[in-house]
A and B are shown apart, each in its own frame.
Chain A
């Protein structure tokens, strides 16, 4: 065991609903990643400004605050282009064209396994 363990990829979960956020953090951690949380877009941006090691943001769309998750995803793509994006929403009308390029969309309720598979593919 002399290989230096590769640092875990860091996933920022942005979700205003406490229980759903707890579930999302849990699924990210169980899949072997480091998970950090934000309850809205403003919190997420503060974290992103402080930490430069975030690989992927998994965000809800409908959230209180100055930006919803859709605007947040575009903001992140502009400001931190390498960060991968997964967007989830209970509204089914979000089309791929509304998302930043390369972002993945899941309708709620998402299947945890689908999210894990996508994270694995995107941060590989």
Chain B
């Protein structure tokens, strides 16, 4: 049995009088792919925002490797290795693809002011390595030929892949994908599936994703959590979820 890496208990998020998330629990084990599904407005993205520090949860606990991370600012959670993509792609549109990847490595670069000013060997080396690491991942997501194009001019599917590559630049432990397949054609969805498996197999990344494409979710996930109107509805393996009458009623619909 692999280790639990992320443990969420009794998470709740209140906006004024609205209880958007109430009592959600979630356990993610290392190298698992866990999917969070539910109807529109169920609070999936809110859960994501709580986990990545964009919202301060109103209650409950979030533990990363047994360490409480709830309420930490977003950039600190990202530094602990929890990195996310966004539902509507958020690339730096006026920068080239490779620059997008360089920015994500900011923390691992030589940011010494004087070193950069006088281009010391250490500075050149660190920039060179960053470039190589970026090139490696551009190749992994098949974007090498677009490396020097500005991100905003890339096709939608390419932007999605670039965003995932950008996350990988930060050497994450948990990758959180918010509707990664939205707007992709069937071929691209297949590629995405292969990419996620590759991340897990070769790079030891744990994946937590929100997705509406049931075919993708069912085929890729080890574990599925269903939430409805902010409250947990069910959780289990894909087979259990597929046959759960309540889930069918609330979300999947009768076949």
The judgment on whether A and B are partners is no
